[in-house]
Structure 1
Amino acid sequence: MFETTAVTLGDLSFDVRSAGPDQGTPIVLLHGFPETGRSWNAVARALVDHGLRVLVPDQRGYSPGARPADVSEYTLDKLVTDVIGLLDAFGLDTAHLAGHDWGAVVAWQTAVRHPDRILSLTAVSVPHPAAFGWALRNDPDQQARSSYFALLREEGKAESVLLEDDARRLRAMYGQGVESDAVDEYVRTLSEPGALTGALNWYRAMTRDFGDIPPVRVPATYVWSTGDSAMGAAAAERCGEFVEADYEFVVVPDISHWVPEEAPGAVADAVRARVRKCR
């Protein structure tokens, strides 16, 4: 179903899966940590079945041709520039955008910085960074949920801890919500030279001004799952305060953090509803 294209942006080459009719409404799907674009497969199929055209990149650090070593190469400025470069490479003046986990962070940032290029946003799991940043500073529950950041920011130690014993701890992060063959693929990818370091550099490049961005002014949907061990209710419930456009908050009950894989139908429905409202 998917066609994979190598897209060159500067010195980097990104693997991008695409599917759907050439004239279909375009939507870019951004994955999070520690996954690849494969995490969107089921959602993407559902969107294609409804006539949308999907573009699903393996992002910076994950594509074999896009793994710079320096932490400074993983700032949000560069991650956002990658998304806009992808639109340019496919000849798209505008597109809809969806992201999960870190992909949601990049999606929020892209929508804030380039509202002329983004028609709508669907963020899954991670709310607007201002809401998340507030919770990291003020909510003890969110502080506890995000305590793993400290390990992931430790250069060398995090790689060793996650990959030792046949990547036992990395595999444990996916819980029961991700199919075993997908986990095997993610682990193979992140075991390649430079891949896990590149993926972890997203955390290492994060600064104290993470949440210091203005409200988004494009129509947005935020999808949160009540069983998400990484994202608590405090940040999720404040998300709408930082959207100055049509906004919808979709709560998926009893699903873990891996919402696109555990509840692809709910995510696809949320995306399609958002896209329909913008037509």
Structure 2
Amino acid sequence: MGVITSLADAIAELVHDGDTVALEGFTHLIPVAAGHEIIRQGRRDLTLVRMTPDIVYDQLIGAGCARKLIFSWAGNPGVGSLHRFRDAVQHGWPTPLEIEEHSHAGMANRYVAGAAGLPFAVLRGYRGTDLVAQTPTIAPITCPFTGEVLTAVPALTPDVGIVHAQRADRAGNVQLWGITGVQKETVLASRRSLVTVEEIVDELEPRPGAVVLPSWTVTRIAEVPGGAHPSYAMGYSERDNDYYQAWDTISRDRAAFTAWLGEHVLGRSVEEAS
């Protein structure tokens, strides 16, 4: 386990048409390069899972990779809407998109249940919202000890969990620090996992607050410097705010998006993309 390979080989091996795929990272360490490789390899009919779908999911949806999105909040952080996401939901372009909406707490608890091997999670969330009526994977449950009515949500066990981290050693152990979100839980809950890293080192140095994923929890590792761009990797890169701003204009128009995708992800010129 924890075998080091190239990003292209890892995606080819781990991600299949029809899979449930989670790309996690909260503001920080978002595995954007892995998302672009999924687009390049033409994966289709994916169920995409993410607590905060942002521009990489907008790109995956716009490229026609997704048939369903399981999520909590969705948007271009600090800027506005996800226009490719909206186009798919409202107009079925390029393909119709099914949605399953949860709260942040519900999604996090679903990952925790999956990581623990439990069938569902229980929390006090969703009160005062209409999500229970809109989402069939949210259900009331009565505590057998107190009689309190709580909320149950099924565990998340993606076919593939993908995260980005700062470092891995040559034995396949992974180290990440900063805002860590649910990366650890995603890897532990998933049947297969890929971690892209900024660098591979001979030995992991202790860092206060760092999370270490031992090699036996990880399926594949790929060294991808800058693999979180335009998000940031603490200690390696800063957030590219201009990219997020520019995405709002690019993603509003189908032709502009298609040209961008061809030039910046698929490696074609603007003329070829059009």
Q: Return the TM-score normalized by structure 2.
A: 0.31
Give TM-score, length-normalised by structure 1.
0.31
Which protein shows a greater Rg?
2
Name the structure where strand makes up a greater proportion of residues.
Answer: 2
**Which structure shows the higher helix fraction?**
1
